[in-house]
Amino acid sequence: MTDRAIETEELTKQYGEVTALDSLDLDVPTGELYGFLGPNGAGKSTTINILTGQLTPDSGTAEVAGVDPVAEPVRARERVGILPENGKPPYFLTVREYFDFVAEARGLDSVDDRVDRWADRLAFESKLDTLCTDLSQGERQKTLITQAFLHEPEVVFIDEPLTNLDPIIQERAKQFFTTYAEAGNTVFLSTHFIATAQEMCTRVGIVNRGKLLEELDPRDLGEETLLDRFFATVDTDTAAVDPADPAALAGEE
């Protein structure tokens, strides 16, 4: 295991005229629960997709768990877990079969014990033999969280992990993410839930227009909240609305 879980240098990605990433430099040490915050279109998903070998950058370098995801995408994905935003488990496999599929895809021997532990942790024991297409949104999210951690990866990318989960399961999931990072693994959390990031993360990076604007430890904020800092850092013209402005929230001029 290396000291640096994630490192990028001058990472740049353009989609036509749009600059999704603009010379992004990241340095996330092992064992950190790193929060990646930014408004819609800030470049969060593009970053995760490049770091997991799903997308090729235009320029710059990246290393994740000691592997270059640009040069060796499949090997990089062996080392990491991925919970994509709006992911969908395969419609016509049962939940148990899906986990077997993940085990086969990742070359694991048997995951029955791990599946049982996760089913207990996130309370979906009764759904293990249900076709994924018949799951509720919350049950799908539980399934997707489980598959991301099934092989106990040293680095895991989780994009909006708490979506559609009830408050009890949210708390259990948060507790697990924290414990998982404390055990020496790295959790890269992309989220719009700023309060959650403040509560859980050991460090937070605020990104907008593909640039890393600021990194901070939420525990150093004192009286200031992470939400205040977020709005102070991000150019509000590019944020969806200013929450302090009820007229803007209502969509009025």
Partner 1 sequence: MVSVRYLFDQLLREEWRMHARLFGGWRFAAFPVFLAALAAGTATFFALAGSETETLLAGLHVVVALVGLQVGSIGLVGRDALGDLLGDVTLLVFSARTLPVSERRLLAVFVVKDVLYYALLFIAPLVVGVAPLVVLTDLSVAVLPRLLASAWLAFAFGVGTSLLLVGLATRSRLLAALVGVAALAGGSLRPGLVVAFTPFGLYADPSYFRLAVSVTVPLLAAVVGFSLFEFDRTGTTRTAGNQFRRLTGLFGARDEQGLLAKSLLDVARSSGSLWKVLLSQGLIFGVVAILLGYIPDILVGVRPSPGLTLGSVLALGAFTTYNWLCQYDDAAFFGTYPIDLARVFEAKLWAFFLLAVPAGGFYLALGTVVFGPTSLLVGATVYVPVAVYVFGVTAYVAGLRPTELLFDTPVFMLFSGAVMAVLLPLVVLAIAYPLAPTRISVAAVGLSLVAGLLGVVGYRRAGPKWTRRARAGDL
Nearer of residues 40 and 56 to partner 1, judged by Cβ: 56
Find the helix packing angle between 95-106 and 137-149, rounded to 10°: 20
Could you tell me the smallest distance in angstroms from the CB atom of residue 104 to partner 1?
3
**Hey, which residues does 35 pair with through a beta bridge?**
189, 204
Which listed residue (27, 30, 101, 121) binds partner 1 by CB under 8 A? 101
Residue selected from 65, 102, 189, 197 as contacting partner 1 according to rule CB under 8 A:
102
Q: Sign of the CA dihedral 181, 186, 192, 194?
A: positive
User: Is residue 138 a contact residue for partner 1 (CB under 8 A)?
Assistant: no
- Among residues 133 and 179, whose Cβ is nearest to partner 1? 133
Specify the residue, 75 or 192, whose C-beta has the smaller distance to partner 1: 75
Q: Which is nearer to partner 1, 110 or 251 (CB)?
A: 110
Q: For partner 1, which residue of 12, 22, 27, 75 counts as binding (CB under 8 A)?
A: 75
CB contact at 8 A, 43 and 210: yes
133 C-beta neighbours (distance < 10 Å), count? 13
Query: Smallest gap, in angstroms, from Cβ of residue 6 to partner 1?
Result: 17
Q: Is 121 in the site for partner 1 (CB under 8 A)?
A: no
Residue (of 21, 53, 38) closest to 155 by Cα position: 53
Lay out the site mask for partner 1 across 11-30 (x = CB under 8 A, - = otherwise). --x-x---------------
Q: What six digits make up the tokens of 42? A: 């800030």
State in angstroms the smallest separation of the CB of 55 from partner 1: 6
Could you say which DSSP state residue 1 is in? Answer: -
Given candidates 116, 134, 171, 199, which one binds partner 1 under the rule CB under 8 A? 134
DSSP conformational letter for 225: -
52 binds partner 1 (CB under 8 A): yes
CA-to-CA dists, residue 78 to 107, 152, 156, angstroms: 9, 11, 11
Residue 92 within binding range of partner 1, rule CB under 8 A: yes
The yes or no reply on residue 44 touching partner 1 (CB under 8 A) is no
Structure letter (DSSP) for residue 94: B
Are the beta carbons of 208 and 235 closer than 8 angstroms? yes
Comparison of 5 and 102: residue with beta carbon closer to partner 1: 102
Q: Which of 41, 11, 34 is nearest to 24 (CA)?
A: 11
What are the backbone dihedrals phi and psi of residue 128, each rounded to the nearest 5 degrees, phi first? Answer: -60, -30
Q: How far is the CB of 116 from partner 1 (least distance, A)?
A: 14
Residues 29, 41, 60, 84: which binds partner 1 (CB under 8 A)? 84
